[in-house]
Structure 1
Amino acid sequence: MDFHDVSLVALRVFREVAERGTLTAAAAALGYTQSAVSRQIAALERAAHAPLLERRRDGVRLTAAGQIVLRRAAAVLEQIDATARELDGLPAEGGAVRLGWFASAGAVLVPRAIAALRRTHPAITVSTREGSTPALVRALRAGSLDLALLASAPPFRPFDAESPPLALRTLTERTLCLAVPASHPLARGDSVDVADLRGQRWIASPSTGEDKRMGVWPGLDERPEIAHTVRDWLAKLNLVAAGCGLTTVPASLVSAVPPGVRILAVRGGPVEQRRVVLARLPHPLPESAAHLADALHAAALDVATPL
């Protein structure tokens, strides 16, 4: 068997596995059985005369041969998808942009950037998805996304170790903030000392294998009491408004804070910086994606106003 016999189905399955990180997740996303996914991967590996995936306890990782096949498969599938869009009367390649974004970016930053882009370039079509940082990085590598908004915290390490390195553009860098109920004793001033956070109840996101727990002030010298576990940032802020606890908040969400919430700076301890980073593969951007990148940059500067 050689690559002349490889099907588009096999290439799509391989891209999905590379993006999802496990055969099980890829099968669920595609509506296939895991054995069907395994058969498609095995067929590709026979055609390549080399293993394409390294099977590990926590999922799969692309081998060097797998990275080559993924890069070529992504290009082939994008051309096929662009042809289908053009035949359907939708914008062809260059007029459609696929954007991924971290959880809180969808509250203000992404809608504001897309609204601005629609005013200046109404012919550009933007599709978006929310995801964890590892999932978004894999989607970039798989060619399923053109751009990804990622959140980064010190020590600001690379998002992955694959080659070539992702092209990264820091849109903003701001200090992490604290959201407290307006009726809370800590809300009397404009800032609090980090020592005052001991013994508080917190509203935090669930901790998974891919995502760190967000919502608790970093570096507390105690095991925090998690009163509520919530993934959605707006739900967190509304629970704060209801007096249910405290949570951390990026500066980009300040304009979305509901009534009943005070946003405070935290004094003492290490300065907790957060970056909003726009990531992409290191090749020239289509004009439509470049316009969206510029709109995201402008929106990030607009919404990330320091306290």
Structure 2
Amino acid sequence: MFDSRHIQTFAEVVRTGSYAATARDLGYTQPAISQQMKALERAAGTPLFVRAGRGLRLTDAGQVLARHATGILSTIATAHGQLKAITRLESGRVRVCAFPAANATLLPATVARVAASHPGIRVELLEEEPPDSLRALREGRCDLALAFSAGHGGDAAEADGDSDEGLVEMPLLDDPLMVLLPADHALAGSSRAELGELEQERWIAGCRHCRGHFVAACAEAGFAPDIAFATDDNLAVQELVAAGAGIALVPGMTLPLLRHTGLVARPLAPAVGRRVSAFVLEGHETAPVTALLLRTLSEAAADMERAASGFPRSEA
């Protein structure tokens, strides 16, 4: 295999026509140039120069290498420049796979911060619920996954029999579950709602993974919920609750998305919540673009938690 330094020196010898002139131009001794060319000839397996009077003449092999030398050096320079741009966060791409609530709340704030500070970085978003988002990470379809886990139903990575081996988790925020009620509901004026008080209600359930946590929480409260509707669409949940079709448990992080009038959100007593985390493959957390996104996600999550602490939960 050729040494790029030897290729660069070879190109200079071709340009100047002698080892002595190349040594002067590059600041080496003439024996050093000669040694480099001997090493290049050993790698090539054939002589590249022959003496022609006081100068040098390229052999047929030397002419072939000379034709490629400029392209080789140009490709190396381009690759070096692109690598420097990535390490300096001047360019790069990171693919994020997240669940819908995160794509609608946490990710926009994160992408905006990245675009403002590093406009050359491209963030691409995919949407999957856990554990499918973690499967996408393992399969190489994304570089970073956002997932949630809860006290009911186990860890997000283990929900379908997977383990978190080989993954690095960075917890971002604790996301409490809220009861979404019509404004005229009997518990709408309460500061919080006990799950056991809602045994007779009809429910609107969310995604399969969320529904498992919800059913487990109800079981701990001593009842099996009457699930009348199931939808992953946050807007549909709002419309159904407002229409009196049922009530729902919604993640606290989605409260800023409530747009329907006549809805209230109340925290549960005892509290039920989930942990939202970012996951990357082990060893990838130090990659410059990935590390940037992890830092920015952490900052955006902290801002979201601060905003949620003062969010008015009695109106939408």
Alpha-carbon distance in structure 2 between the residues aligned to 1:143 and 1:227: 37
Residues 107 and 239 of structure 1: is their aligned pair in 2 closer, same or farther, counting only changes over 3 Å?
farther
User: What SS does the aligned partner of 1:235 have?
Assistant: helix
Q: Are 1:140 and 2:142 matched, yes or no?
A: no
Moved over 4 A (4+): 160-164, 214-217
After TM superposition, the structure 1 = structure 2 runs for residues 194-233 of structure 1, keeping only pairs within 5 Å, are 194-205=195-206, 207=208, 211-213=209-211, 216=214, 218-220=217-219, 221-233=222-234
Q: Give the residue type in structure 1 aligned to 2:278.
A: L
Residues 278 and 236 of structure 1: is their aligned pair in 2 closer, same or farther, counting only changes over 3 Å?
same
| Residue 286 (structure 1) aligns with | 287
Residues 174 and 158 of structure 1: is their aligned pair in 2 closer, same or farther, counting only changes over 3 Å?
closer
Number of matched pairs: 213
Alpha-carbon distance in structure 1 between the residues aligned to 2:297 and 2:108: 10
What is the CA distance between 1:206 and its match in structure 2? 5.2
User: What SS does the aligned partner of 1:133 have?
Assistant: coil
Alpha-carbon distance in structure 2 between the residues aligned to 1:206 and 1:290: 30
TM-score (norm 1): 0.62
Alpha-carbon distance in structure 2 between the residues aligned to 1:109 and 1:243: 29
User: Identity across aligned pairs (percent)?
Assistant: 31
After TM superposition, the structure 1 = structure 2 runs for residues 75-154 of structure 1, keeping only pairs within 5 Å, are 95-154=92-151
| Residue 266 (structure 1) aligns with | 268
Alpha-carbon distance in structure 1 between the residues aligned to 2:173 and 2:164: 25
Note if contact 1:203-1:216 (Cα within 8 Å) is conserved in structure 2: no
User: What SS does the aligned partner of 1:263 have?
Assistant: strand
Note if contact 1:192-1:266 (Cα within 8 Å) is conserved in structure 2: yes
Alpha-carbon distance in structure 1 between the residues aligned to 2:193 and 2:165: 43
Note if contact 2:180-2:264 (Cα within 8 Å) is conserved in structure 1: yes
| Residue 248 (structure 2) aligns with | 247
Alpha-carbon distance in structure 2 between the residues aligned to 1:177 and 1:198: 16
The CA RMSD over aligned residues, in Å, is: 2.7
Note if contact 2:151-2:274 (Cα within 8 Å) is conserved in structure 1: yes
User: What SS does the aligned partner of 1:247 have?
Assistant: strand
Alpha-carbon distance in structure 2 between the residues aligned to 1:272 and 1:163: 23
Alpha-carbon distance in structure 1 between the residues aligned to 2:155 and 2:224: 26
Structure 2 unaligned runs (5+)?
1-78, 83-88, 312-316
User: What SS does the aligned partner of 1:213 have?
Assistant: helix
What is the CA distance between 1:162 and its match in structure 2? 5.1
User: What SS does the aligned partner of 2:116 have?
Assistant: helix
Residues 134 and 278 of structure 1: is their aligned pair in 2 closer, same or farther, counting only changes over 3 Å?
same
Deviations 1:250-285 (A, max 9, x none): 1211211123221101224xx313100100001143
Greater radius of gyration (CA): 2
